[in-house]
Amino acid sequence: MKRDLLVGCLASVLMLSSCELLETIDNGLSTEEVTNGLKTALAVGADTSVNVTGKEGGFFKDAAIKILLPEEASVIYSYVNNPLSDFIGLSDAVDDFEKSVNRAAEKAVPKATDIIKGAITDLTITDAMSILNGTNPLDSKKAGGFDSTAATAYLKAMTRSALIAAFKPPIDEQLDKDLGFNISANESWLALQTANSALGTVGLNPVDNLDDVDLSTYATGKAIDGLFVKIGDTEREIRRDPYKWIADTVGDILIKIFGKD
């Protein structure tokens, strides 16, 4: 019974529109309760996204966030299926790079949990109300219309610097490590650069400026971007059908915290 009441209350908070918000507060829910309901949903949603992206294959097997070659090297994909590229090992170099750099991102993502939860904990009542109404309080432009990822945009802006600092060391470590493919990401990147340099020997044009890419910075940025893609997906899901999301996700956690009675 207690669980059902908690789930119903949290779902009601998440379904509020701007007009309903004032009415609901007048009818019994305090602004603190509304804010705490939002914080609970965001915290569990962030946990869900970290768990999904932080497991093996969380990036590599998800086309929406899979880390590909840097933009400077994207033309190489057009060469991969060219039989001539087999002579210089281009296809294998691309495959090894993708597997290893995505695994590095998957290893780093769990570092985000405490940082994002800290930003959620520090969320003010004023900012929480803006987010509930589909507005990112950090957006100075305050574009019109309802933003279904307002919370995601807010959290990304609040945590990006801290996430870069937290992600970069483990990503640097993983980029140097054999992650089970008999080659590290850094080694596969060097192999890719070597294969690129050899493209001219088989009549294909090498890509310029590959040496200018900082693989650590690139992988760190993509890992953070991918995580927030999934957090944004979760936020949309929460707003679209909060009752189902809470029953499937938050409900089990509430049972563990508050008991089954």
As to burial, measured by CB atoms within 10 angstroms (0-12 exposed, 13-18 middle, 19+ buried), residue 245 is: buried
pLDDT for 71 beyond 50? yes
Which carries the bigger pLDDT value, residue 121 or residue 71?
A: 121
The confidence band for 141, taking pLDDT boundaries of 50, 70 and 90, is low
176-190 per-position pLDDT tens digit: 887 566 777 788 778
Report which of 43, 51, 224, 235 is spatially closest to residue 152, judged by C-alpha positions: 235
Which carries the bigger pLDDT value, residue 251 or residue 241?
A: 241
As to burial, measured by CB atoms within 10 angstroms (0-12 exposed, 13-18 middle, 19+ buried), residue 36 is: middle
Question: How far is it, in rounded angstroms, from Cα 110 to Cα 112?
Answer: 5
Strands (E), the chain: none
Question: How far is it, in rounded angstroms, from Cα 64 to Cα 236?
Answer: 15
What percentage of residues in the chain have a pLDDT greater than 70?
71
187-222 per-position pLDDT tens digit: 877 877 777 777 777 667 777 777 778 889 999 999
73-85 per-position pLDDT tens digit: 777 777 666 665 5
Phi-psi region of 29 (alpha: psi -120 to 50; beta: other; left: phi over 0): beta
Pull the structure tokens for residue 120.
């959620």
What is the amino acid identity at position 34? V
What percentage of residues in the chain have a pLDDT greater than 90?
31
Which carries the bigger pLDDT value, residue 247 or residue 253?
A: 247
How many Å separate Cα 174 from the centre of its chain? 18
Report which of 142, 147, 114 is spatially closest to residue 131, judged by C-alpha positions: 147
> Under a CB-based contact definition with an 8 Å cutoff, are residues 250 and 10 in contact?
yes
The answer for residues whose C-beta is within 8 angstroms of residue 154's C-beta and 6 or more apart is 127, 131, 136, 137, 138
> Under a CB-based contact definition with an 8 Å cutoff, are residues 246 and 9 in contact?
no
Which carries the bigger pLDDT value, residue 150 or residue 90?
A: 150
pLDDT for 27 beyond 50? no
Helix axes 215-240, 185-197, angle to 10 degrees: 110
The answer for residues whose C-beta is within 8 angstroms of residue 252's C-beta and 6 or more apart is none
Q: Which helix (H) or strand (E) holds 194?
A: helix 185-197
Which carries the bigger pLDDT value, residue 101 or residue 82?
A: 101
Q: Which domain holds residue 87?
A: 2-258
Say what the pTM is. 0.78
Task: Give the number of domains in the chain.
Answer: 1
